[in-house]
Structure 1
């Protein structure tokens, strides 16, 4: 799962990026608001963490432009503006949540999980296919009701496939779900993760379409 972080405080940004990567997310970090539009147009994000006080283009303007385009990606405003009026304004602009700096990193993770649970693009937040159930917020997978232990990147590959159960997902799209901009892409990592997922979920659960990518076998 991929997150866009817009934060101009480089110390805080580095801390948040590192924390979220350890939490299993691919994180793209930008320090200017006027860079947001290109990133949002070019990538499929499951959440945006947005500082209100950004150079280039204020966070409020980024949020307004995002909602004006009809984009429904969940947005958490992260800001030092802490009055009730500030919170009301931010939520009225279209934010899904509002977190005042300084905040606890565990709370940030919990708020992201809460947004994923109620993301309208994923009914009930839980995905199911062929006896396999994936809960993106709890990062939990079961097969026929039994828990399945996955690494963070195996989970990300499975999530990318289960979000598009009737489509072929290319290698590039899977790499998009696994890696942020500053992370090195390993040459055979997708094949390794697919192999491990087949071993854990069944050899026929994921199909390979030559020269195109991977998909889920018909349920």
Structure 2
């Protein structure tokens, strides 16, 4: 997937979800120190701060060095090697100092939550079935509603419809009724006339 995204969106910046990277640190801590060790949390915090400071290469080098230490068990050395390999493979997507400086999200929780609220909560109600086009149409309207842009949207829609149907500029009046009365006055219509041209 990464290669496909990079091919189709060359200017797109991929970011390794920081929570996933942090989970690997916890696995190493549990393996080396044990799940009940009081120093485990401090160890993870220290490594996390290193990672957020752009020192992931140092962490990789340290883990590879520890993986060669005969004092550790085969299981511990395997965990260190797997984590070092994972970090090294994803290093291009772990430039967290740059991402944070640009105010980019480094974890997908916010995005996943938005997808659940924006899509799932509306489109997966009981008995619902959607065509791709129907879902796309409703999703666009839902975006307008969620952004509280209904007034702007309807104003845009009226202008577009007017431009499509008529050659005159869209009236800048508060209502069509006011426009109709103004138009009638400008045409010197008699009081007995009961038909006024309307522009919708």
Relative to the length of structure 1, the TM-score reads 0.19
Q: Which has the larger radius of gyration?
A: 2
Q: Which has the higher strand share?
A: 1
Q: TM-score when scaled to structure 2? A: 0.20
Kindly indicate which of the two structures has a greater share of residues assigned to helix.
2
